[in-house]
């Protein structure tokens, strides 16, 4: 088999691993990867604004707003208007959301991060460089992407 075919197979395996974990997460908690990630950031930041969540997870505010809409409709997240500046809307987890987050399985990336950080510094840099080059070769530099492994529907932003 040619090297480019082996590389594509490895990329497909990565995508498949993310997809399988995403399905397991959804089955276990009823949440998608992005929903879990948003809830984790809300819990960590304590009453953040949408733009803060978006900056933290490197997704557009519109994408985060859509995720929050779904979480709010399920009763996991509450929007609360600021008492000092009515233009600002803070986010907080409901009691149900907090309980769900406490029971949610660990994200796939935690296992990956542990293994990645156990590598020598030069090897971390080499892997990062190679994957950034692959993203560039696939014209993916400008795609909306979070620093965690997610699977979902791809949509084009205009």
Indicate which CATH number applies to the domain containing 53.
Answer: 1.10.10.10
Q: Which two tokens stand for residue 11?
A: 């990329």
Whether 22 maps to a domain, the answer reads no
Q: How far apart are CA 83 and CA 90, in angstroms?
A: 10
Domain annotation covers residue 43: yes
Is residue 71 domain-resident? yes
148 domain-assigned: no
- Mind listing the pLDDT tens digit for each residue in 1-27? 899 999 999 999 988 888 888 788 788
For the chain, the domain total comes to: 1
Q: Mind listing the pLDDT tens digit for each residue in 44-86? A: 998 999 999 998 888 889 999 999 999 999 999 999 998 888 8
- Residue 31 to residue 100: CA distance in whole angstroms: 9
Given this model, what pLDDT does residue 156 score?
A: 44
pTM over the 0.75 mark: no
Q: Output the pLDDT for position 24.
A: 81
- Residue 39 to residue 43: CA distance in whole angstroms: 6
Look at residue 56 and tell me if it is in a domain: yes
Asked whether the CA dihedral 75, 108, 141, 135 is positive or negative, the reply is negative
In the chain, the percentage of residues whose pLDDT exceeds 70 is 89
* Domain-embedded: residue 61: yes
Instruction: Give yes or no for residue 157 having a pLDDT over 50.
Output: no
- The two beta strands, 89-93 and 77-81, are antiparallel
pLDDT class of 158 with cuts at 50, 70, 90: very low
Domain range holding 73? 33-137
Q: Quick check: is 153 in a domain?
A: no
150, two tokens: 């997610």
């Amino acid at each position: 088999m040619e090297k480019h075919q082996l590389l594509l197979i490895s990329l497909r395996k990565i995508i498949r691993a993310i997809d399988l974990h995403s399905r397991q997460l959804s089955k276990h908690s009823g949440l998608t990867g992005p929903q879990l990630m948003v809830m984790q950031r809300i819990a960590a930041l304590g009453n953040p604004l949408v733009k803060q969540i978006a900056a933290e997870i490197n997704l557009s505010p519109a994408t985060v707003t859509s995720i929050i809409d779904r979480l709010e409709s399920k009763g996991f997240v509450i929007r609360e208007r600021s008492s000092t500046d009515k233009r600002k809307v803070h986010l907080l987890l409901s009691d149900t959301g907090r309980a769900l987050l406490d029971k949610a399985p660990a994200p796939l990336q935690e296992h990956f991060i542990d293994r990645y950080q156990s590598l020598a510094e030069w090897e971390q840099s080499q892997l990062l460089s190679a994957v950034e080059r692959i993203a560039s070769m696939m014209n993916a530099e400008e795609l909306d992407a979070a620093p965690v492994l997610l699977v979902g529907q791809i949509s084009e932003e205009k």
